[in-house]
Chains A and B, each alone.
Chain A
Amino acid sequence: DSGVTQTPKHLITATGQRVTLRCSPRSGDLSVYWYQQSLDQGLQFLIQYYNGEERAKGNILERFSAQQFPDLHSELNLSSLELGDSALYFCASSVGDRGVGTGELFFGEGSRLTVL
């Protein structure tokens, strides 16, 4: 158990809909990261938040947004869903945000999104 909690574990929805994925980081971790794992793209970094502020952006679509709340949990919002958005969405957390000196990210078990 990594200490990172993601909900829901599975989600099935239709094209055009909007969903919210939730992540609670490990106790004491200030950074939250979102990754998308799909068959064709592999593991792709989406976005990072540190202590409530956006820190880094990766291959995140404009239809997607995220935020980190004062209690440090994070939500990833996916809107106008398309079939290609079907994937496993991982949240990870770490203590710091600058440099990879610690480097270790702790991953949750993921939220599997299926868009029909």
Chain B
Amino acid sequence: AQSVTQPDIHITVSEGASLELRCNYSYGATPYLFWYVQSPGQGLQLLLKYFSGDTLVQGIKGFEAEFKRSQSSFNLRKPSVHWSDAAEYFCAVGLYGNKLVFGAGTILRVKS
């Protein structure tokens, strides 16, 4: 069965530091991969998506993610974190019919 693993439940980084959130997936075919962000009291917002082609994808708010087929990973990165990035981040695999299977989420805390 398709699954998405986000091994880090919480991550704390200092403002201005770099960030990497990990995501591993289990899926038989070429996956469609997404990162969504959920700010407190808000719905989910798409940060970026990977369908094919260049394995490094750029998203909104300065985020990027790299697809590594050999590692079944799609890690999210940002070179310099801002306090406003504190939120919960979800990795997801897209299945036929636009169904998304989400990971458990990683809560990002930013220290000033």
Contact = CB atoms under 8 A, between A and B. Distances in A.
Contacts of B103: 42
B104 interface: yes
Interface string B96-112: 11111111110000000
Contacts of B34: 103-104
A51 to B, nearest CB: 13
> DSSP majority for the A interface?
loop
Nearest to A110: B43
Contact of B45 (A2, A33, A101): A2
Interface stretch (A14-22, A66-74, A76-84, A90-98): A90-98
A111 to B, nearest CB: 11
Contacts of B45: 2, 107
B105 A103 contact: no
A104 B49 contact: yes
Contact of A48 (B46, B94, B97, B105): B97
B101 to A, nearest CB: 7
Given A98-B97, A103-B49, A103-B51, A2 B102 contact: no
Interface residues of A, number: 28
B98 A105 contact: yes
Interface string B78-100: 00000000000010001111111
Contacts of A101: 51
Contact of B100 (A55, A105, A110): A105
B17 interface: no
Interface in A29-54: 31, 33, 42-43, 45, 48
Nearest to B36: A107
B63 interface: no
Interface string A98-116: 1111111101111000000
Given A43-B102, A105-B46, A109-B41, 5 more contacts: A100-B32, A100-B51, A100-B95, A100-B97, A107-B36
Interface of B: 32, 34, 36, 41-46, 49, 51, 90, 94-105
